[in-house]
Amino acid sequence: MKKIGVLGAGTWGMALSRMLSNTGHAVTVWSAIEKEVDEFSTKRVHPNLPKMQIPDEIVFTKDIEEVCKEKDILLFAVPSVFVRSTTATAREFIPDGQIIVDVAKGIEADTLYTMSEVIQDELQKDGGHKNVKLVALSGPTHAEEVSLDMPTTIVSACSDMEAAELVQDVFMNTCMRVYTNGDTTGVELCGAMKNIIALAAGVSAGLGYGDNAKAALITRGMAEISRLGIAMGCMEQTFNGLAGIGDLIVTATSIHSRNNRAGHLIGQGYTPDEAVKEVGMVVEGINALPAAMKLKERYRVEMPIIEAINGVINEGADPAKTVKALMGRHKKTELSKSMLDLNFENTILKNKRSGGMKRVITYGTFDLLHYGHINLLRRAKALGDYLVVVLSSDEFNWNMKHKKCYFTYEQRKELLLATRYVDLVIPEESWEQKRNDVHEYHIDTFVMGDDWRGKFDFLKEEGVEVVYLPRTPEISTTQIKEDLNK
Ligand code: C2G
C-alpha cells in the first residue's frame, strides 16, 4: 500500500484516484478550486463522471501542504496550463527525491518544455530538488472507461527505470496494464501532439468527411509527430507504441475526446472559441498548437497537418479549403529506406531527380565516432529521406585541418556506414567542394553542427536549405583523447 497525493480533481485525476484507492492505496486529493473539494468530499460524485462512485476512503483537502507531505508518489493531474503555477505553490512542501508522476499532456508554449520538464524547471528554481524522479504516465486512456474499470493500457516513462517500474507496480491492476519506457520526452511529445491530430480528425468529420479521411489523418499525423520526435532525439519505437499511435487512435476516433468534439463543431462552422465554450472542458489540442508550430520551426520538420490545423484554429483559414489544399500537396514517397536506397542509387547514376525524396548532406572528420556525432547524424537524417556524409580524407585532415586521425578514412567510412542513419559516404578533399557536391548529389538540405553557424550560408545561393543543429555538449574526439591520456 502506498501513500499517494493527487494534485488536481479533474476527470482524469479523479478516475485515477478512484482506481488507486480501490486497489488499496491511501489517496489524498487536492484541488485549487475549493468548491470542488467541498462538493466531491460530500457528494462523492464527479459531474463529468456521473456513473462513478468516489470511494469514501479518498481524503480531500484544500491544503497543498497536506497533499504533498510524506507521500510515496505525487500525481500531477492539473490541466497543462496550470502545471507550472501548481508546482511553484507546492515546491516548499515537496521533498528532494520525491517520485512525481505527471499525467497532464501538453507542451509549454514559451519554453517548449514537456510537462515533466516544466515541473523539474520550477522545482529547481530553489537550487534544490536535484534528485526528484519525474515519471510521465500516458497512453490510450479515456477517463470515462477507466472509471468503469474497463480494460486499459498505459505507459510509465522515466529515464530512471527503477522509478518507472515502481510506478508500474502501483498503477498495475486487473483493469490497468502498465508498460515501462525510458523515453520520457517521446512519450510526453506524443501525449501533447496527438491532441492536435484529434482536433484535425474532428474538423474532418465535422465537414462531413468519412473514415477514409480520418484514417489518413491518423496515419500521416503520426508520421509527422514521429519525424519531429526523431529530430528531437526521441526513440522511434515510442511513436509506434501505446503512448504514440495507441493514444492517437483512442483520441481521434472517440466521442469521449474533447479534442475530437471541439474539432467536429469547428468543421460545422463554429469558431474555435464557440467550440471550446460548447465543449465546456479544456481542449488541450488548441493549447498545444503554438508550441507545436515552434517545435516544427526549431527542428525544421515538415508537418503539413499541424500547419493546416493551426491555420484553421489560429489564422481563420476555411476548414474545407484547408482540407482541399492538404489533398493537393506535391506527391510524397512512403517507401521504406531500403527501397529508397536502390531508388536513390539509380537516380544518382542516371543523374536525375526522383519526385518527393529529400536528400541531406553533412561534412566532418567523425574520428573515434561518438554519440555526439550520432546525435548529429540522426537529426540530419530526420530532415529528409537520404543522408550523404562527406568524410574528410586523411590528407585533408592532415594538410587542411591539422588533425591527426586515430582511424583512417576507410575505417571511419566503415563505421559511418554501419550506423542506421548514413546512406552514402564520399571523401572531403577540399574546403571548396561543397558548392559542387550539393548539385552533383541533388541535395535539398545542408546540415552542420552549430559550431559552424553562419559559415556555410553561401550554399543558400545554390538553392539549398542550410541548417545548423545544436552540438551535443560535453563530448568531442579531443575530449576522448585527453581523457584516455590521463
Ligand atoms: N558534432 C556535434 N556534437 C559533438 C561533436 C561533433 O554535433 N559533440 C558535430 C559537429 O558539429 C559536426 C559533426 O558532428 O557537424 C562532425 O564533427 P567533426 O568530426 O568534428 O567535424 P568537423 O571537424 O567540424 O569538420 O567541411 C566541414 C568540416 O569537414 C567539418
* pLDDT, average across residues 443-453: 94
Residues known to be catalytic? 194
Dihedral pair phi/psi, residue 400, rounded to 5°: -105, -30
Q: Rounded to an integer, what distance in angstroms lies between the CA atom of residue 311 and that of residue 373? A: 36
The pLDDT value given to residue 442: 84
User: How remote is the CA of residue 166 from the centroid of ligand 1, in Å?
Assistant: 40
Q: Rounded to an integer, what distance in angstroms lies between the CA atom of residue 331 and that of residue 344? A: 17
Given a cut of 70, whether residue 348 has pLDDT beyond it is: no
The pLDDT value given to residue 349: 42
Reported as a pLDDT band with limits 50, 70 and 90, residue 350 is very low
Closest ligand 1 atom, residue 471 Cα: 7
The pLDDT value given to residue 353: 42
pTM: 0.67
* pLDDT, average across residues 403-416: 94
Q: Which of 230, 209, 223, 385 is nearest to 306 (CA)?
A: 223
| pLDDT tens string 65-101 | 999 999 999 999 999 999 999 999 999 999 999 999 9
The pLDDT value given to residue 334: 65
Dihedral pair phi/psi, residue 133, rounded to 5°: -105, 120
Contacts of 347 (CB under 8 A, 6+ apart): 353, 354, 357, 442
User: How remote is the CA of residue 210 from the centroid of ligand 1, in Å?
Assistant: 48
- Find the range with the poorest average confidence among 47-51, 328-332, 351-355, 388-392: 351-355
Count CB-CB contacts under 10 A for residue 55: 14
| pLDDT tens string 5-33 | 999 999 999 999 999 999 999 999 999 99
Given a cut of 60, whether residue 55 has pLDDT beyond it is: yes
| pLDDT tens string 227-250 | 888 777 788 789 999 999 999 999
User: How remote is the CA of residue 352 from the centroid of ligand 1, in Å?
Assistant: 30
By most ligand atoms within 8 Å of CB, the mutation choice from 361, 370, 375, 376 for ligand 1 is 376
Q: Which of 306, 78, 281, 294 is nearest to 193 (CA)?
A: 306
**Alpha-carbon torsion angle 413, 415, 421, 426, nearest 10:** 0
Burial letters 368-392, b for 16+ CB under 10 A, else e: bbeebbbbbbbbbbbbbbbbbbbbb
The pLDDT value given to residue 347: 47
- Of all protein residues, the one whose alpha carbon is nearest to atom 29 of ligand 1 is 364
By most ligand atoms within 8 Å of CB, the mutation choice from 448, 476, 482 for ligand 1 is 448
CA distances to 179, 272, 368 from 314, rounded to whole Å, are 36, 8, 48
The pLDDT value given to residue 354: 45
| pLDDT tens string 196-205 | 999 999 999 9
Q: Facing residues of 46 across strands?
A: 49
Given a cut of 80, whether residue 170 has pLDDT beyond it is: yes
Pocket of ligand 1, beta carbon within 6 A: 363-366, 372-373, 376, 392, 428, 448-449, 451, 471-472, 475-476
User: How remote is the CA of residue 363 from the centroid of ligand 1, in Å?
Assistant: 7
Handedness of CA 469, 470, 475, 478 (dihedral sign): positive
- Supply the mean pLDDT for the chain: 91
Q: Which amino acid belongs to residue 100?
A: I
